[in-house]
Structure 1
Amino acid sequence: MNTQKTNFMVPLAFVGVMFFAIGFALGINSFLMPVLEKSLQMSSAESNLLLAATFVPFLIFGIPATKCIEHIGYKRTMALSFVLFAAAFGLFIQAAATASIVWFLIASFVAGAANAVLQASVNPYVTILGPLESAAKRISIMGICNKLAWPATTLFITLVIGKGLADIQMEDLYLPFEIIIGIFIILGIIALMAPLPEVKAAGEDPADENEAENQCSYAANKTSIMQFPHLLLGAFALFLYVGVETISLATATGYAKALELEGDNYGFIPSIGMVVGYIAGVILIPKYLSQAAAMKFCAIIALIGSVLVAILPGVWSVYCIFFMALGCSLMWPALWPLAMADLGKFTKAGSSLLTMAIAGGAVMPWVRGVIQDATSFQTSYWICVPCFLFILYYGMAGYKIRTK
């Protein structure tokens, strides 16, 4: 890639903090869903609307976020996202004060908009910060920061409140949310001050068109991102992936509660699975394992894991969510570089499309919730099987369309 010849470990460290913030903000859904189901007597499908409100903004703000990057750069766009996060948690306080599902949905929507802006900046930034063939390794490092933050949300809030999930009332949420607002404001300031160089992909906005063609001949004669079939298939795979990953990360605690298991921290089961996979990615990619091979292996593991969750009894089923999450771990790190390969001058547009595909996190969990209400919590996990099958196809053949 056409990246500055500098040590990118320092920028990665700062971006790692931002990935942690992404996971922390998304983890609020895993915390709130069982709380609202109890406090407001909501069904599973209704509580999953929180996830929908969080992920729909990716569809709406994917392109505006990329335009924002073009005008003010990656660093200022990242800082802007933290301002939006702080505003979102201010709205969560209003929601808790009124015990209103409408306000919770509005707050989740604003948090989703902040997440869309941050994801649109950090994911392509990490992808093009170094060589493309090792992008999955860098994204895996970021993934460790991100996935450890999901269960950290529940742990942090329950520690601040001093109560278990079953005992939390709406008024208990004020203090932890106020602390979170302060944290996001500080992160916004850190983002502005961080030593993050502006980077460009090969063939992206070069000084002259001849240089663009030399750097990325595949994209030189293209006039639209719709002419990149590997990108379009990758966007659909990412849409399904985010949906099933969100199911594995956001439902473990609720599933354990439905089975009347003791304890509140079952959210660590999928997070540990994700982190184990990311560590393997850091060690194995690209020296021992290509990004495409990692995706194939992970899709097979996730397929097996989702079937086991759907058929095994009791606590064994909950613990098998670990294998779903382990399979999901390297899909994101592999999908982004495979789908963004050889986009050249369309790199930012391709990033917009992939960011919009994150809206899958709104659709698939809601479908799972509808199935749960109609059948059972355990049966609803079957929705993951066809999703992982398509992802397996992309890892085996879909991304290769570019080379034919």
Structure 2
Amino acid sequence: MDSKRNYFLVPMIVIGIMFFAIGFALGINSYLIPLLKNSLHVSSGESYLILAATFSAFLIFGYPASLVIGKIGYKNTMMLSFLMFATGFYLFIPSAKSESLPLFLLASFVSGMGNAFLQASVNPYITILGPMESAAKRISFMGIANKLAWPVAPLFLALIIGKSVEDVQLQDINIPFYMIIGVFLLLGVLSYFSPLPEVKAVGEDEESAAECAYAANKTSIWQFPHLLLGVLALFLYVGVETVSLGTLVDYAESIGLPNAELYAWIAPAGMVIGYICGIIFIPKYISQANALLICSILAIFGSFMVVFTPADISIWFILFMALGCSLMWPALWPLAMTDLGRFTKAGSSLLVIAIVGGAIIPTAYGFLKDAIGPQQAYWLCVPCFLYILFYALKGHKVR
């Protein structure tokens, strides 16, 4: 019994640390957006290109990452991703010295490449580590680690630099980034020596192929409509989640709230509440599909309230958007990956590619903000959440 418990517990702890690292790396962007806008005197749309650069790496490296995993395994790919992270973070230092937006975008892209390889490793790994029907519960644990890290990044930078974001100079980021580089290199060493077992989904190899009858006669990943509809749902979800997490500091500053970086915790708090609910209720009381349905409705409500309430109050309703987003990722992955059999790695690579939604939708928000104002730009989230509602009701059932 103890050995079986350790088989799951140790990988859960190690993968949880990696999910925290993913959230921390992405949370850095929420600090850089207002910093670059103020220091380089660029528009909101141009400053949000930092997110576009980070997430565009998923489009390019999502599929190659799955090939690398097939060659060297999950654990070695995780180690490789941390080396990529460290390289990207190092590039931020000469970018600050030269005060160059293109160099910042390059640094974010390299960091995003590390994120793409790590996400391609840890998400399918935690999904297939145990039974598929309880995958959302495991991913909810990971989500808590991930989303708590988002506000830690801007708060860490503010603490080490010792200034409010509107007073920071670009060269002030050098010391904290050297510290971050060191931590991520240590995480690479941890991943290499960690006792992570290699895992496979049902039907992924020839010995268990007969256990997945739906995939047995398929010849292409494009023959799984529930997966393809799920890819679009994940694309939209990552985009609107990144809007809720990544715009808080900028939105607070835009509407004149003091100490804007302190508002970075609102969305992560909502998501952690949702993840705790997922841990408690899935799958014992509600299914993964019903969790997605409830969360879609909450997110639609939050989006409307952000747009229609007074600006200084509206920022708090982003918590409801984030609460709605909380169980979307844990539910979408297992719903989309069910019955893929030997196409599991290819399917997970498509889902990783869909994370590019975090590049496109937040950037669209930035340019909408320039055109119609920061509050009205949140209208962008409504149709995205409506499609996710459709996937919860019908899309995941299509075979």
TM-score of Structure 1 vs Structure 2, range by shorter chain = over 0.9
What is the aligned partner in structure 2 of residue 275 from structure 1?
272
Unmatched segments (≥5 aa) in structure 1: none
Code of the residue aligned with 1:376 in structure 2: it is G
Name the structure where helix makes up a greater proportion of residues: 2
Q: Is the 8 A contact 2:81 2:117 kept in 1?
A: yes
- Give structure 1 regions of 4+ aligned residues with deviation exceeding 4 angstroms: none
Q: Distance in 1 between matches of 2:158 and 2:342?
A: 47
Q: Distance in 2 between matches of 1:5 and 1:116?
A: 30
What is the aligned partner in structure 1 of residue 318 from structure 2?
321
Q: Distance in 2 between matches of 1:393 and 1:312?
A: 26
What is the aligned partner in structure 2 of residue 33 from structure 1?
33
Q: Distance in 2 between matches of 1:100 and 1:399?
A: 44
Q: Deviations over 1:166-219 (max 9, x none)?
A: 111011010000000000000000000111000000000233xxx412x10000
The equivalences for 1:96-107 within 5 A come to 96-107=96-107
What is the aligned partner in structure 1 of residue 288 from structure 2?
291
What is the aligned partner in structure 1 of residue 257 from structure 2?
261
What is the aligned partner in structure 1 of residue 393 from structure 2?
396
Q: Deviations over 1:291-318 (max 9, x none)?
A: 0000000000000001100111022100
Q: Distance in 2 between matches of 1:18 and 1:314?
A: 36
Q: Distance in 2 between matches of 1:205 and 1:331?
A: 29
Q: Is the 8 A contact 2:27 2:151 kept in 1?
A: yes
Code of the residue aligned with 1:242 in structure 2: it is V
Q: Distance in 1 between matches of 2:181 and 2:217?
A: 47
Secondary structure of the structure 1 residue equivalent to 2:398: helix
Which residue, out of 245, 248, 252, partners 1:249?
245
Secondary structure of the structure 2 residue equivalent to 1:159: helix
Code of the residue aligned with 1:132 in structure 2: it is M
Given the alignment of the two structures, is residue 233 of structure 1 paired with residue 229 of structure 2, yes or no? yes
What is the aligned partner in structure 1 of residue 347 from structure 2?
350
What is the aligned partner in structure 2 of residue 191 from structure 1?
191
Deviation at 1:14, TM superposition (A): 0.3
Deviation at 1:161, TM superposition (A): 1.1
What is the aligned partner in structure 1 of residue 332 from structure 2?
335
What is the aligned partner in structure 1 of residue 125 from structure 2?
125
Q: Deviations over 1:44-71 (max 9, x none)?
A: 1101111110001101101110011011
Q: Deviations over 1:213-267 (max 9, x none)?
A: 2x10000000001000000000000000000000000001111111111122111
TM-score by length of 1: 0.97
Secondary structure of the structure 2 residue equivalent to 1:320: helix
Given the alignment of the two structures, is residue 304 of structure 1 paired with residue 301 of structure 2, yes or no? yes
Q: Distance in 2 between matches of 1:5 and 1:160?
A: 39
Code of the residue aligned with 1:246 in structure 2: it is T
Provide the identity percentage. 60
Alignment: residue pair count:
395
What is the aligned partner in structure 1 of residue 182 from structure 2?
182
Deviation at 1:368, TM superposition (A): 1.1
CA RMSD across the alignment: 1.0
Unmatched segments (≥5 aa) in structure 2: none
Q: Distance in 2 between matches of 1:97 and 1:74?
A: 36
Secondary structure of the structure 2 residue equivalent to 1:361: helix
Q: Distance in 2 between matches of 1:162 and 1:358?
A: 33
Q: Distance in 1 between matches of 2:312 and 2:152?
A: 22
What is the aligned partner in structure 1 of residue 17 from structure 2?
17
What is the aligned partner in structure 1 of residue 150 from structure 2?
150
Q: Distance in 2 between matches of 1:44 and 1:131?
A: 44
Q: Is the 8 A contact 2:311 2:375 kept in 1?
A: no
Q: Distance in 2 between matches of 1:185 and 1:376?
A: 41
